[in-house]
Structure 1
Amino acid sequence: MASITLGGNPANTVGELPAQNTKAPDFTLTKSDMSTVSLSDYKGTKLVLNIFPSVDTGVCAQSVREFNKRASKLENTKVLCISKDLPFAQNRFCGAEGIENVEMLSDYKTGKFGENYGVTFADSAFETLLSRSIVIVDQNGQVVYTEQVPETGDEPDYNAAVETLMNA
């Protein structure tokens, strides 16, 4: 269980992020067209898992914009933005913002992604939503970087994530 804060108040997640230098846990998530996708669909590609509570909050939306600009331009790299938002809300956001370089994925059906990656809020006002985290997976499916943002209202360390990608 990770201890973080939400608006300065204590909050906990159901577990810990996957350890670095371990195989990334598999997942099945819902794409914007309501089809499903799994980790194996990205085999051989570097991944940024940009995980957050909801695209309808300012900091979450900013993280999508930033990774859309920074990481999506890197060779052999995909940015996966993961929340429990319904695919309809994710599509609306991307259309309104002109976001075209990231993939929006939803954990709304089962919540297994959040459990397997240890990022589901176990308590607080955001209970059952996903905590703001970054996981970088290299082209071999290994976790090479993780960040669980200590205060949910803060942005992740984009520079550290992109630097890891460039060196992976």
Structure 2
Amino acid sequence: MATVTLKGNEIQTSGDLPKVGTKAPDFTLTTIELGSKSLKDFEGSNIILNIFPSVDTGTCAQSVREFNKEASALDNTKVLCISRDLPFAQARFCGAEGLENVISLSDFKDGSFGKAYGVNFTTGPLETLLSRSVVVLDEKGNVKYTEQVSETVDEPNYKAALDALKNG
């Protein structure tokens, strides 16, 4: 279990992020077209998992925009934006923003992604949503970098996540 804050108030998550150097846990998430995608579908690509509570909040929306902008400059890299938002909300947001360099995926069905990655909030007003985190994977699905943002309203360290790919 990890402890983070929401506007200074402590809240807990269901576990800890996968350790750097380990194989990332597999997952099955729902696409905006209501299909399914698993980690295996992205094999052979570097992956940035941009994990957040809801695309309908300012900080979450900004992280999607920022990674969308940065992803276009990276070779063989996919950015997966993962929340428990319904796929309809994810599609609406990306369509309205014109975002084409990220892939929105939802953990709304059973929360299994959040459990596997230890990022489900277990206390506080965001209970069951996902803690703002970034996990970077290499082409083989090995964890190269992780960050669980300590204050939920803060943005992740984009530079560190991108540097993990560029310097890896």
The answer to whether the 8 Å contact 1:72/1:102 transfers is no
One-letter code of the match for 2:60?
C
**Cα shift readout 1:14-64 (whole Å, capped 9, x = no counterpart):** 000000000000000000100000000111110000000000000000000
Q: How does 1:1-168 map to 2 (within 5 A)?
A: 1-168=1-168
Distance 1:93 1:4 in 2: 26
* CA distance, structure 2, for counterparts of residue 65 and residue 154 of structure 1: 15
Contact 1:131 1:152 in 2 (8 A): yes
Which range moved further: 120-129 or 70-79? 70-79
Structure 1: which 5+ runs fail to align? none
TM-score, length of structure 2 as denominator length: 0.99
Of all paired residues, the percent bearing the same amino acid is 64
In structure 2, the gaps of 5 or more residues are none
Does structure 1 retain, via aligned residues, the 8 Å contact 2:71–2:102? no
Secondary structure in 2 matching 1:67: helix
Task: Write the letter of the residue equivalent to 1:28.
Answer: T
Contact persistence 2:6–2:153 (CA under 8 A): yes
List per-residue Cα deviations over 1:70-99 (Å, max 9, x = no partner): 134200100000000000000000111111
Moved over 2 A (4+): none
User: RMSD of aligned C-alpha atoms?
Assistant: 0.6
The code of the aligned residue for 2:81 comes to C
One-letter code aligned to 1:49 = L
Give the TM-score taking structure 1 as reference length: 0.99
Q: Within 2, Cα distance between the matches of 1:103 and 1:43?
A: 15
